[in-house]
């Protein structure tokens, strides 16, 4: 099943272009990311494209504050930016083999449909 997006989310996705959109489950406060389903889509990170130990250390510091419940709004924004930068870096240096996973999924769906017939 593919869930349909509300008009508010669609407007926000249009505003962001190819950048990801963070959404939060109001029941659990768990955060999810909506990203374009395009093979070559890349998020544009704010700031420098290089990832560093210093940025990672700051990210850990902010995560600790988030867990402790002491993260400010400005720090939350900074953490989101650092998370995006790290994701961009990982996507460049160690991309996940998503194409193979999609192929496997398609084969499994086909097998399931054939068994039902």
Task: Name the pTM for this structure.
Answer: 0.46
Tell me, yes or no, whether 79 and 110 share the same domain. Answer: yes
Tell me, yes or no, whether 35 and 60 share the same domain. Answer: no
Tell me, yes or no, whether 67 and 28 share the same domain. Answer: no
**Measured between alpha carbons, how far is residue 75 from residues 10, 25, 43, 111 in Å?**
27, 20, 21, 47
Q: Which domain holds residue 15?
A: 1-41
Residue 25 has pLDDT above 60, yes or no: yes
pLDDT tens, residue by residue, 39-90: 544 444 444 458 999 999 999 999 999 999 999 999 999 999 999 999 999 8
The residue with greater pLDDT, 41 or 115, is 115
- How many domains does the chain divide into? 2
- For residues 82 and 90, the answer to whether their CB atoms sit within 8 Å is no
Phi, psi of 23 (to 5 degrees): -130, 155
* Residues of the chain above pLDDT 90, percent: 35
Tell me, yes or no, whether 74 and 96 share the same domain. Answer: yes
């Amino acid at each position: 099943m593919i869930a349909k997006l509300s008009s508010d989310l669609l407007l926000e996705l249009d505003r962001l272009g190819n950048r990801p959109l963070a959404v939060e489950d109001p029941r659990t406060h768990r955060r999810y990311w909506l990203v374009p389903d395009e093979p070559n889509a890349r998020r544009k990170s704010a700031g420098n494209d290089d990832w560093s130990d210093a940025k990672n250390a700051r990210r850990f510091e902010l995560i600790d504050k988030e867990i402790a419940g002491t993260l400010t709004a400005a720090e939350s924004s900074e953490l989101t930016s650092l998370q995006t930068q790290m994701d961009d870096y990982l996507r460049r240096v160690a991309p996940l083999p998503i194409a193979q996973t999609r192929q496997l999924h398609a084969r499994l769906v086909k097998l399931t449909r054939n068994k039902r017939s």
